[in-house]
Amino acid sequence: MSETKLIRIEDAADNVGRDVKIGCWLRVKRGSGKIVFLQLRDGTGFMQGVVVKQEVDADTFDIADHMRQETSFYAYGKINEDSRSKFGYELAVSKIEIVGESEDYPITPKEHGTDFLFDERHLYLRHQKPFATLRIRDEVIRAIYDFFYQEGFLKLDSPVLTDSAPEGTTELFPVKYFDKQAYLSQTGQLYAEAGAMAFGRVYDFGPTFRAEKSATRRHLTEFWMIDAEMAWMHQDQSLAVQERLIAYLIKRVLDNRQSELKMLGRDPEKLAAYINPPYPKLTYDEAVKILQKNGFDIDWGTDFGSPEETFLAKQFKTPFFITGFPKAIKAFYMKNFPGRDDIVVSADLLAPEGYGEIIGGSERNVDYQSLRQRIIDHKLDLDEYNWYLDLRKYGSVPHSGFGLGLERFIRFVTGEEHIREAIPFPRTLNRLKP
Ligand code: 4AD
Ligand code: MG
């Protein structure tokens, strides 16, 4: 007798009518007496198993009837199509083989507070919302690699341990590095710039760190960033790359993660409206005027917070750029705006619906003298930036780049209220565990 084929729930469609075996966990159980419905999950999907008393031996029915949440087991049976089930298929269970018992699983089917769920994140990962969100994250990660490959970029990894503070010194995580002080990287940008001078177009993609004391829905202390850097490229072309990237990533989610969007209650129609760039561009000057006209107490020169960004987003139906930020609130490496000494050639891309900034980027200052002066003005240690200044000393060329925050993007695409949902094990002001 041949052994029953072990399949995964995602392969149910190819196995309709067959006797199969599935390695799974029990989510919820209901019914009793004559029939037990087992809600199964195996990491690739969800499915209902039906155990009918008259059709199985007494032992099997008894096991099913007494099984507890998150028990792991092999379920044997026949796959049936089931149009009434939201998963489309059902397993008519004939036999159960318990593998790992589970007792007093803490995340019961009742409502739980978010803090509790994230204290139990190692278990909460097994549930539907993280399942859907993190599978979308996986799709986006693969799409990022595909996009940059198609666009002729080389992936060049930036270090995580550094001695520099490109985004300002107030948000650094110090690390003892033998007898020196090092920091966890805030962005790989400076290294990507070196890479662009060597390979033309490069990107990095890795964890970055900000010791931000802000407990908001959009701040993590550890998050994943994509830094892209392009030699021989001015800002307008860089914005076009950003538009193509965002449209491509959203489209990939729409093409390959429909059922996950559905599980999260995220309307695909809404997302579909965001895949046709170009996106609108608004100058910082204009943005301040709009805000002032609408009762915001904001002076030219201050940065936008969440309320300002949300209000501005209401003026547009798609992602949109804010360009030409004040020099004083931006990083030292940005190029001066031609003819204006108070703003830089920068742009933030804001997501619609109030999800806020997802990309920050700029054309870079490529002039040795003025860049050196900016480093001094920012009270940064020149010694640490000599290598970076070398890029302006030996064949400096116009170049531009940008950084996309992966979790910010995922939060927007999935329509999540809080950014912590968008990463497997979030690190925030108040959370380092599990
Ligand atoms: O705007 P930021 O600070 O820009 C840079 O770091 C540039 N060096 C990038 C570059 O030009 N290569 O950060 C880039 C993006 C933000 O737009 C946001 O999406 C994300 O990184 N980000 C955060 N995401 C989660 N938590 C935080 N605390 C974040 N800070 C920035
Ligand atoms: Mg920014």
What is the set of domains in the chain, with CATH numbers? 5-100 (2.40.50.140), 121-422 (3.30.930.10)
User: Does the Cβ of 26 fall within 6 Å of ligand 1?
Assistant: no
Long-range Cβ contacts of 146-151 (<8 Å, 24+ apart): 146/252, 147/244, 147/245, 147/248, 147/249, 148/203, 148/228, 151/201, 151/241, 151/244
User: Does the Cβ of 220 fall within 6 Å of ligand 1?
Assistant: yes
Smallest-distance ligand from the CA of 189: 1
Measured in Å, residue 349 CA sits from the centre of ligand 2 at 9
Pocket test for ligand 1, best of 408, 421, 423 (most atoms within 8 A of CB): 408
User: Does the Cβ of 238 fall within 6 Å of ligand 1?
Assistant: no
CA distance linking residue 176 with residue 136, whole number of Å: 36
User: Does the Cβ of 402 fall within 6 Å of ligand 1?
Assistant: yes
Given this model, what pLDDT does residue 1 score? 56
Q: Which of 81, 64, 75 is nearest to 29 (CA)?
A: 64
Measured in Å, residue 123 CA sits from the centre of ligand 1 at 29
Distance of alpha carbon 102 from its chain centroid, rounded? Answer: 32
User: Does the Cβ of 167 fall within 6 Å of ligand 1?
Assistant: yes
* Residue nearest atom 27 in ligand 1 by C-alpha distance: 219
Measured in Å, residue 274 CA sits from the centre of ligand 2 at 21
Measured in Å, residue 331 CA sits from the centre of ligand 2 at 9
* Residue nearest atom 18 in ligand 1 by C-alpha distance: 405
* Contact yes or no for 286/316 (Cβ under 8 A): no
Smallest-distance ligand from the CA of 208: 1
Given this model, what pLDDT does residue 161 score? 97
Based on C-alpha coordinates, what's the Rg of the chain?
Answer: 26
User: Does the Cβ of 210 fall within 6 Å of ligand 1?
Assistant: yes
Smallest-distance ligand from the CA of 213: 1
pTM over 0.75: yes
User: Does the Cβ of 405 fall within 6 Å of ligand 1?
Assistant: yes
CA of 210, closest atom in ligand 1 = 28
Measured in Å, residue 266 CA sits from the centre of ligand 1 at 25
CA of 212, closest atom in ligand 1 = 28
Given this model, what pLDDT does residue 214 score? 85
Measured in Å, residue 282 CA sits from the centre of ligand 2 at 16
By the CB criterion, residues less than 5 angstroms from ion ligand 2 are: 360
Smallest-distance ligand from the CA of 216: 1
Measured in Å, residue 296 CA sits from the centre of ligand 1 at 25
Q: Which of 357, 355, 356 is nearest to 347 (CA)?
A: 357
CA distance linking residue 379 with residue 402, whole number of Å: 24
User: Does the Cβ of 204 fall within 6 Å of ligand 1?
Assistant: no
Start-to-end CA span in the chain (Å) = 46
User: Does the Cβ of 319 fall within 6 Å of ligand 1?
Assistant: no
CA distance linking residue 283 with residue 285, whole number of Å: 5
Q: What is the pLDDT along the chain (434 residues), one digit of tens a residue?
A: 578 999 999 999 999 999 999 999 999 999 878 999 999 999 999 999 999 999 999 999 999 999 999 999 999 999 999 888 778 899 999 999 999 999 999 999 999 999 999 999 999 999 999 999 999 999 999 999 999 999 999 999 999 999 988 888 889 999 999 999 999 999 999 999 999 999 999 999 999 999 988 889 999 999 999 999 999 999 999 999 999 999 999 999 999 999 999 999 999 999 999 999 999 999 999 999 999 999 999 999 999 999 999 999 999 999 999 999 999 999 999 999 999 999 999 999 999 999 999 999 999 999 999 999 999 999 999 999 999 999 999 999 999 999 999 999 999 999 999 999 999 999 999 999 99
Measured in Å, residue 267 CA sits from the centre of ligand 2 at 27
Smallest-distance ligand from the CA of 204: 1
